[in-house]
Amino acid sequence: MDIEPIKEYCGEDWDRVNQRIRAALHSDIDLLNSVNGMILSHSGKQLRPLLSLLVAKACSDAPVSDDSLRVAAAAELLHNATLLHDDVADESDCRRGSPTLNYLMGPSVSVLVGDYWLVAAMNEIREAEHFGSRLISIFSRTLSHLAEGEMLQLQKARSGDTCEEDYLRIIFCKTASLFEAAALAAAISVNASETVEKAVSRYAVSLGLAFQIRDDIFDYSREFDVGKPVGVDILEQKITMPLIGAFRNADAQEEREIRKMVADIHEHHGYAADILDFVRKKDGIGYAVRRLGDYAQDAADALSSIPDSQAKKHLEEIIGFVANRNK
């Protein structure tokens, strides 16, 4: 599925969101403007601001307000801030098939520019005319989740004992929490009912979990070209859904041996191939696909509380895009 027609449906509102993003990042420092322009030229799918706009349209018949546009812009700004920081934490040289800022200009620049985008995101929310305190609270809570997710992931990489509950908490904090913020803040910006707010939150969290599980499947699948080699998560000692699924089909001794390999991966990079083979033999990818399907279905079920509209139809289509995307 191609999401470009959904952006076309949003029309002028989509253009206004991107205008807000560019305006929020403008500086009188030429180097900063140049770097920001480079990042914007590789902006990816922009799924989070698109989610915000669709929720605002699905929850209200009124024209999209400035507050809804601010929420959408803030979601994209915050997302990219986290990517700039993640590239430093993960020592990443490539993202979306292009060199990272971390690779081109070093970790200090990547962190500083990430901070700039983060402040720009919060400034967008701060300028909201209505429901400002609630919107700030939502995005502030998301920032806490993002930090907690990174630290829990680091803790579990060291201990090597990640279970499915741990994994789901990590990907909620690192991925789904921002999906939730983008959608819930949009619903609040149009004064949606409490019932609709809950439905939107459930939809976005399940969508975000499905999105990250799909990403983690890519790390075990050579047939997809996602701009990075397979096995990167293992080399970073990350135990994700495909490996957790493989453990479910293995005996205790096999699981202990594989977990020991993950723990020792820095000294023995060759273990990565053995772990990838283990996941394939134990149908870890199949398990991950089924769990992804569970969350995709839950996202679809959550939309039952939202009135039928073209925007709702596009929210349903995004579930299919997330579940079936190949990059």
So what's the pLDDT on residue 229?
64
So what's the pLDDT on residue 228?
54
So what's the pLDDT on residue 222?
66
Range list of H helices, 127-193: 132-159, 164-171, 177-189
Question: What is the pTM assigned to this prediction?
Answer: 0.94
Which residue has better confidence, 231 or 150? Answer: 150
So what's the pLDDT on residue 97?
76
For residue 62, what are the contacts with CB-CB under 8 A and spacing of at least 6? 190
C-beta of residue 146 within 8 angstroms of C-beta of residue 82: yes
Contacts 24+ apart (CB under 8 A), 59-62: 59/186, 59/187, 59/190, 59/192, 59/196, 59/200, 59/306, 60/190, 60/191, 60/192, 62/190
Among 155, 154, 152, 160, smallest CA distance to 255 is for: 160
CA distance between the termini of the chain:
11
Q: What's the rounded mean pLDDT across residues 308-321? A: 97
Give 86-112 pLDDT, tens digit per residue.
Answer: 999 888 888 877 899 999 999 999 999
Pairing mode, if any, of strands 94-95 and 98-99? antiparallel
3-class DSSP state of 163: coil
Give 250-307 pLDDT, tens digit per residue.
Answer: 999 999 999 999 999 999 999 999 999 999 999 999 999 999 999 999 999 999 999 9
Q: What is d(CA 84, CA 80) in angstroms, rounded to the nearest whole number?
A: 6
So what's the pLDDT on residue 223?
62
Among 21, 118, 16, smallest CA distance to 73 is for: 21
C-beta of residue 182 within 8 angstroms of C-beta of residue 71: yes
- The amino acid at residue 310 is Q
Q: How many CB atoms lie within 10 A of CB 280?
A: 15
Give 18-70 pLDDT, tens digit per residue.
Answer: 999 999 999 999 999 999 999 999 888 999 999 999 999 999 999 999 999 99
User: Could you say which architecture CATH assigns to the domain 4-324?
Assistant: Orthogonal Bundle (1.10)
DSSP state of 93: S
Give 177-234 pLDDT, tens digit per residue.
Answer: 999 999 999 999 999 999 999 999 999 999 999 999 999 999 998 664 444 567 889 9
Q: What is d(CA 113, CA 281) in angstroms, rounded to the nearest whole number?
A: 43
